[in-house]
Amino acid sequence: MTAQARPAPLLPESSSLSLIDTHCHLDFPDYQADYAAMLARARGSGVVEIITVGIDLPTSRTAVALAQAAAESESILKIHATVGVHPHHVNELVEDDYLRLRELASAPRVVAYGEIGLDYAKEYSPAPLQRHHFAAQVRLARELGLPLIIHDREAHEDTLAILKEAGPLPAGGVMHCFSGDAALAEEVLAMGFYISIAGVVTFKTAATLREAVSRVPLDRLLLETDGPFLAPVPCRGKRNEPAFLTFIAAKIAELKGCSLAEVTAATTANARRLFRLT
């Protein structure tokens, strides 16, 4: 929970990039002590926009407020917000909250609905309740015309089943912090979703994920830190922050056999397309 200012190691060529961190939790207490410095480091390492993601009603509110504050203060980078209730937190949801979520999701600078989905690894909320609220929030997002940010941990089959049952989702969506193999990636792509890659791709143990990433076309990939969690190598074990996004981009460039500039151009264009960023 402590957050000390620490210099972010930069890749030499990174400051001229235009990266978008499509998934970070800027409202977490981990960033409170050095928020402005953390954003400055992000900008210095080539990150130009950040999507800050809500996980319950209060954090969705804060996400919207942070995005608004950045817009009003001519912040050094753009911040967008999302609204949604994470599977860990759906046991706190009451029916009335849907009215509040709907209202909040219509606020300026909200670019997606999420993160929502299923988490059978932790099961902090009972699985049937997770499925109920995932399906209900997918319906709400569709009604609002917002793309989905989906959290799927050890629940691949049910996640895809609920998305398929929902029928056409014209605004699309992304599998955030993708953790599956090449076969799952193929299925997700066939459904029209993007695949977002977090720092896990740099971990020694992630050979299966790296194999999947090497097969996903560049025009379907997004980048994210998922900060403050999952800091990539060489920062593994530290608090994660948007400045570390370059290490994920560099790993993808290596896997794809292309340049960091190419990965940046493609993933930034993808993020702008999916989230309709202007």
Element housing 187 (H / E)? helix 182-190
Q: Going by C-beta distance under 8 Å and a sequence separation of 6 or more, which residues neighbour residue 49?
A: 20, 21, 77, 78, 79, 80, 271, 277
In the complex, minimum distance from the CB of residue 24 to Zn ion, in angstroms, rounded to a whole number: 8
Taking the complex as a whole, the smallest distance from the CB of residue 33 to Zn ion amounts, in Å, to: 21
Number of residues binding to Zn ion, judged by CB under 5 A? 1
Question: Which C-beta is closer to Zn ion: that of 226 or that of 241?
Answer: 226
Residue number of the CB atom closest to Zn ion: 226
Residue with smaller CB distance to Zn ion, 32 or 259: 32
What is the end-to-end Cα distance of the chain in Å, rounded? 34
Minimum distance between the CB of residue 47 and Zn ion, rounded to whole angstroms? 17
Residue 49: asked if its preceding bond is cis (omega within 30°), the reply is no
Of 180 and 260, which CB lies nearer to Zn ion in the complex structure?
A: 180
Looking at beta carbons only, is 154 or 186 nearer to Zn ion?
154
Is-contact 152 117, C-beta < 8 A? yes
Report, in Å, the least distance between residue 257 CB and Zn ion. 29
Q: What is the closest distance, in whole angstroms, from the C-beta atom of residue 55 to Zn ion in the complex?
A: 7
Taking the complex as a whole, the smallest distance from the CB of residue 199 to Zn ion amounts, in Å, to: 12
Give the tokens for residue 16: 């001229």
Is residue 270 classed exposed, middle or buried when 0-12, 13-18 and 19+ CB atoms within 10 A define those classes?
A: buried
Is 25 or 220 the residue whose CB approaches Zn ion more closely? 25
The distance of closest approach from Cβ of residue 109 to Zn ion in the complex, given in angstroms and rounded to an integer, is 18
Residue among 48, 117, 81, 86 at smallest CA distance from 267: 48
151 annotated among ligand-binding-site residues: yes
User: Which one, 152 or 226, has the nearer CB to Zn ion?
Assistant: 226
Distance CA 62, CA 125 (A): 23
State how far the Cα of 30 lies from the Cα of 89, in Å rounded to an integer: 19
Does the annotation list 226 as a binding residue? Answer: yes
Which one, 24 or 263, has the nearer CB to Zn ion? 24
* Torsion angle of C-alpha atoms 61, 67, 72, 74, degrees rounded to 10: 160
Q: Is 115 annotated as a binding residue?
A: yes
Q: How far apart are CA 202 and CA 49, in angstroms?
A: 22
On the 0-12 / 13-18 / 19+ scale of CB atoms within 10 A, 243 is buried
The answer on whether 156 is annotated among ligand-binding residues is: no
194-253 residues near Zn ion, rule: CB under 5 A: 226
30 assigned binding-site residue:
no
Q: Is 176 annotated as a binding residue?
A: yes
- Which parts are annotated binding residues? 23, 25, 115, 151, 176, 226
Report the interface residues with Zn ion, using CB under 5 A: 226
- Which parts are annotated binding residues for a divalent metal cation? 23, 25, 115, 151, 176, 226
